[in-house]
Structure 1
Amino acid sequence: MQASLFFLILSFLTYIILSIQGATDVNQDHVGGCQHPVYCTGSLLKTIQLNQVFNDSKTFVDMPMRYPVDYINQQFEVLMFNTSKTGGPNKAELLEFLNNNFYPAGYEVEPVTPVDWFPNPAFLDKIQDPELKRFATSVHGKWLDLTRVFNVSGLCDDCYSSIPVTHPFVIAGSRFREFYYWDTYWIIQGLLVSNMTATAKGMLTNFRDIITEYGFIPNGGRIYYLNRSQPPLYTLMVKSYVEATSDYQFLQETLPILDAEYQWFMKYRTTQINTCDGGSYTLNLYNVSTNTPRPESFYEDFTGASVFSSDDEQKFYYSSITSGAESGWDFCSRWFSQSDNTNLTTIQTIEVVPVDLNSILYYNEKTLSMFHNYFGNTTMSTFYQKAASERATAIQSVFWDENNLQWFDLNLETQTLNENFYISNLLPLFVDIEEEINMNDEEIDSIFKELSDVLLNFPGGIPSSLIDTNQQWDLPSAFPNLQYFVIELLMDTNTTVSTAIGRSLINRWVTTNYCGWNSTLETEGGMMFEKYNVYDVGTPGGGGEYVVQNGFGWTNGVVLHLLNKYSDIITLNSC
């Protein structure tokens, strides 16, 4: 009883403080992001990246330093002086400098065997198809390949770009040597299927510690990500973990931290929308303010910005590029000018109010209301329930298009909706907004019927968009996390139409994952791609800033979720 009373008082005080301040004090300078003189700013970074010493710009900023910052910069100044007569160091001289002064990329990130991994988790027993069971067993085994710890012992202070955390974590794979925020949601789904609850809890505890320190969860586990977050799925990760484990003590300890993250988004990522019918709504958007390239994509951003002549235009470009990375959809025609939506240089993410971000925050508000109600905190529960109700009204008023039967992103510059198809247009159904706005099954089915071509006609899943821009979040790529959203909203709707489409998509998605794995089993140990091609079953997607990656954290998590939840209705199609 005393513990409950203490928590009630603590939560209420947290609410009052955060409502006044908008976020914890430690986060007040968050807009500055990373100011590290090697990994985030300075001539050394610019020189290395613009000379393209490595094919991947991320490689350099993931290399720990052998010596303190001051010594490294002194050595760099010597190099620049010695090569000044020849116009500066060439690529070979820069590479020699790096080899002498830096460790290899990812040196401080070490593999570790998770303590809760066992070869035959219970979910395998209910998979009857022997080929699906063989596939599931292999994917379950990939947690052994992807689990890591940060080990900065032996490294000097401030000599690495990692944000160290206490507990082991699962990486995405390949070039992604650290944890990533929204990837972790689907990784958690897979870990829970594999009964790896200790690993899942450790990752959630890492995030709790990060919010305590920074006020938010950055894009990923590197200091160069400290000026941006990602879609706020932490509350929903905790929900999944608690539902699987009934660990309400963890929830009680974490709930004030969930409040803090929510307030961060409500302070730093909002805009006011006034509608023609007199409505006025507070909604959220991705909105990083920066006048520099992303360190991990310095060359790409710097080159892209070179087409602009003014500082203001370059800042708008850098801010929109970085905000596009914050969205997770980096990059996609969603963020481009609607008058030129195939050209990355027209990116204007900070002018777009996204349907999916606001849908996720609506789900967070409902979930936080439920959490606070469980612990008897009616003040906070009512606060979040009111916020959710107001947001549902806003989503319907601002984003819904009756003629196209979809929810569309709003462009602030033009005050128009982006009437192109994106999977994000359906996210309100994933968060069950129909319950708040009293949309019946017939109305929901009309949405699916209107979109039946895109939902059913691609053998390799549903494309993120129907526009081919050579960006990875556009046609022809299909991403596991977005298939998860659509499958769950279809199956949860549970009408004749939605279930038929949902079953088709489950079979197509599991098939394309299986075919990619099986075709590479002998040569590569069975590859799980970051994304897949909707036209060609089993082949990876493409486009974007880097080659397709193998691993892959969220791909594994989604397919394990599907094999666990729907194994009795899955039938593999032909490869």
Structure 2
Amino acid sequence: MSGAERERHEAAARAAQAAPADPLTPADRYRELFEAVQLGRVFEDSKTFVDCAPKRAPEAILQAYRRERGQPGFDLAAFVRAHFAPPRVHRSHYVSPPGQPLREHIDGLWDVLTRHPAQHPPHGSLLPLPNAYVVPGGRFGELYYWDSYFTMLGLAESGRGDLLRAMADNFAYLIDAYGHVPNGNRSYYLSRSQPPVFVLMVELFERHGICKALRYLPQLRREHAFWTADAGALRPGEARGHCVRLEDGRLLNRYWDARDAPREEAHLEDVTTARRSPRPARAVYRELRAGAASGWDFSSRWCDGDELSGIRTTAILPVDLNALLWKLEAQIALLSAAAGDAAQAARFRALAQARRETIDRVLWNARAGAYLDYDFERGAPREALTAAAAMPLYVGAADPGQAARTGAALRARLLRPGGLDCTERVTPEQWDSPNGWAPLQWLAIGGLRRYGDPLADEIASRWLHTVANLYRRESKLVEKYVLVPQDGEIVGGGGGEYPLQDGFGWTNGVTRRLLHEDPAHPGNRSCAGRR
């Protein structure tokens, strides 16, 4: 073990000792108390209770609940207040001082959004990390997997190499500790991951001089093993875990969660959704969890019709996931060759080649002129175009003809005045039209630029205008935006399970990167509180 590795492991151990995580999730730990709190809506937001810090040993709290709940006049809300400390939501820090330029506002937010291991309360749901990390903001007070890549884009342009280095080691630590990167560093997120963007992070670290990509080859291999763990046992036509073996023997992947109970951070919402479905409740819970693993929680992309009760995430082979896994396999092959491991390099080159051929055969749709998700249970593509079609371009898995046709389809079907739409359908879900999200803008911009498509600059300009417009009026950045002006004004997005959040990690990151790339853009001169 090198000196640097020893230091990282020692830091992780110190973090764990300072704030030990409960080895059980809140639902497993608090059992009937958890059910009573969540179904009784003690907190308006279901995520609040699972993020609470217990004021005494969890076992003692559960014993006290069992002892007191049957007593006359028992008040559940008062009991919870007495035994738990709710998480602090730092809303007030997200409004910029009047007159502050957008770039300075973002640069100043990084410290506000940074959390430290010493701040972890003991015996809560937070999984300890060895180093400081940046959270999205608002109700999201923990590290999130795919969010962090887009946040890192901005950290790099803000000159925050300290946070980039800390985040790099945090993600390596998570893979070493758990065998994968959880959805977020909470015990209730351990059963699933998110889009596997660690391979993109590693490239970013090397590009900005944080560390060599080769350093993280063991973690890249381990993440690949997590996503493909069930592949070897599958026969044609079978699916298990993240893996689907098609009838012709080819392998692709899907989103998956290892549990089939309601999401703990949305317990009541999931129970309510399952009650509206004719399917067994556990089947619906699995689909909702898999949808959360996709990062697109939630979208018509995963559903039959507009009702969330019709969600079928695990039946769908997603374009973005499989493009990222192709990138992961190709990068492992390159790094293995650099490390002198010819056998491993050959193995992963073959895996990458097979996956790209399968993407072309199954996910490329010549009739639509774009990459489409594929419903393997029904043996048919999902006809609706989504912004995920840009991912093969972003990672370089498209040939020039596919890239050109995809760009034309995105322009014709998803381009809006404020940027690139998520999908073509307007629904009550937040990852549908009319909402625009920063990560989807960046993937399209980066992918189209790779192939020289001028649409990239048009999306970038429209998105910067969207963010700067609302910032001038409200002195803040938000999680998502409506891409069609409302009464002449840009407004924050809506839909989904919770109110619009201020902050906001990946909006800050993508916007900061785009402002750096286009210093003449008016967004660099926009000031808070001015029209």
Which one of the candidate residues 486, 491, 499 is aligned to 1:539? 491
Q: Which residue of 2 aligns with 1:260?
A: 222
Q: Does the C-alpha gap of structure 1 residues 351 and 502 become closer, same or farther in structure 2, counting only changes over 3 Å?
A: same
Structure 2, unmatched stretches of 5+, are 3-21, 91-98, 230-240
In 1, Cα distance between equivalents of 2:435 and 2:127: 31
Q: Does the C-alpha gap of structure 1 residues 216 and 444 become closer, same or farther in structure 2, counting only changes over 3 Å?
A: closer
Q: CA deviation at 1:52?
A: 0.6
Aligned residues: 489
Q: CA deviation at 1:186?
A: 0.6
Q: Does the C-alpha gap of structure 1 residues 517 and 198 become closer, same or farther in structure 2, counting only changes over 3 Å?
A: same
Contact 1:332 1:471 in 2 (8 A): yes
Contact 1:459 1:534 in 2 (8 A): yes
In 2, Cα distance between equivalents of 1:253 and 1:558: 26
Task: Map Cα deviations across residues 340-399 of structure 1 (whole Å, 9 max, x no partner).
Answer: x20100101111111110011111122222222222322222222221111110001011
Which one of the candidate residues 32, 41, 50 is aligned to 1:43? 32
Q: How does the TM-score come out when normalised to structure 2?
A: 0.86
Q: Does 1:316 align with 2:316?
A: no
Q: CA deviation at 1:569?
A: 6.7
Q: Which residue of 1 aligns with 2:477?
A: 528
Q: Which residue of 1 aligns with 2:49?
A: 60
Which one of the candidate residues 84, 87, 96 is aligned to 1:102? 84
Per the alignment, in what secondary structure is the counterpart of residue 271 of structure 1? strand
Q: Does the C-alpha gap of structure 1 residues 464 and 205 become closer, same or farther in structure 2, counting only changes over 3 Å?
A: same
Task: Map Cα deviations across residues 58-104 of structure 1 (whole Å, 9 max, x no partner).
Answer: 00111111111221011111332115xx8xx5xxx222111111112
Q: How does the TM-score come out when normalised to structure 1?
A: 0.80
Q: Does 1:558 align with 2:520?
A: no
Task: Map Cα deviations across residues 502-522 of structure 1 (whole Å, 9 max, x no partner).
Answer: 2211111001111111111xx
Q: Which residue of 1 aligns with 2:438?
A: 480
Q: Which residue of 2 aligns with 1:454?
A: 413
Q: Does 1:270 align with 2:280?
A: no
Give runs of ≥4 in structure 1 deviating > 4 Å: 37-41, 568-575
In 1, Cα distance between equivalents of 2:379 and 2:155: 42
Per the alignment, in what secondary structure is the counterpart of residue 329 of structure 1? coil
Contact 1:366 1:385 in 2 (8 A): yes
Contact 2:150 2:439 in 1 (8 A): yes
Q: CA deviation at 1:40?
A: 6.0
Q: Does 1:406 align with 2:401?
A: no
Q: CA deviation at 1:246?
A: 6.0
Q: Does the C-alpha gap of structure 1 residues 410 and 573 become closer, same or farther in structure 2, counting only changes over 3 Å?
A: farther
Q: CA deviation at 1:221?
A: 1.1
Per the alignment, in what secondary structure is the counterpart of residue 252 of structure 2? strand
Q: Which residue of 1 aligns with 2:236?
A: none
Which one of the candidate residues 189, 195, 198 is aligned to 2:153? 189
In 2, Cα distance between equivalents of 1:540 and 1:39: 36
Q: Which residue of 2 aligns with 1:515?
A: 469
Contact 1:472 1:542 in 2 (8 A): yes
Q: CA deviation at 1:572?
A: 8.8
Which one of the candidate residues 40, 62, 82 is aligned to 1:73? 62
Q: How does 1:144-543 map onto structure 2 within 5 Å?
A: 144-151=111-118, 159-245=123-209, 247-248=211-212, 251-267=213-229, 268-274=241-247, 279-308=248-277, 313-337=280-304, 341-434=305-398, 439-441=399-401, 444-456=403-415, 458-494=416-452, 498-499=453-454, 501-520=455-474, 526-536=475-485, 538-543=490-495
Task: Map Cα deviations across residues 192-227 of structure 1 (whole Å, 9 max, x no partner).
Answer: 111211211111111111111110111001101111
Structure 1, unmatched stretches of 5+, are 4-32, 110-130, 521-525
In 1, Cα distance between equivalents of 2:525 and 2:317: 38
State percent identity of aligned pairs. 30
Contact 1:454 1:462 in 2 (8 A): no
In terms of mean alpha carbon deviation, does 180-189 or 421-430 score higher?
Answer: 421-430
Contact 1:405 1:450 in 2 (8 A): yes
- Give the partner amino acid of 1:271: V
Contact 2:134 2:505 in 1 (8 A): yes
Contact 2:277 2:309 in 1 (8 A): no
In 2, Cα distance between equivalents of 1:228 and 1:407: 25
Per the alignment, in what secondary structure is the counterpart of residue 175 of structure 1? coil
Q: CA deviation at 1:54?
A: 1.1
Contact 1:169 1:203 in 2 (8 A): yes
- Give the partner amino acid of 1:358: N
In 2, Cα distance between equivalents of 1:510 and 1:139: 13
Q: Does the C-alpha gap of structure 1 residues 490 and 569 become closer, same or farther in structure 2, counting only changes over 3 Å?
A: farther
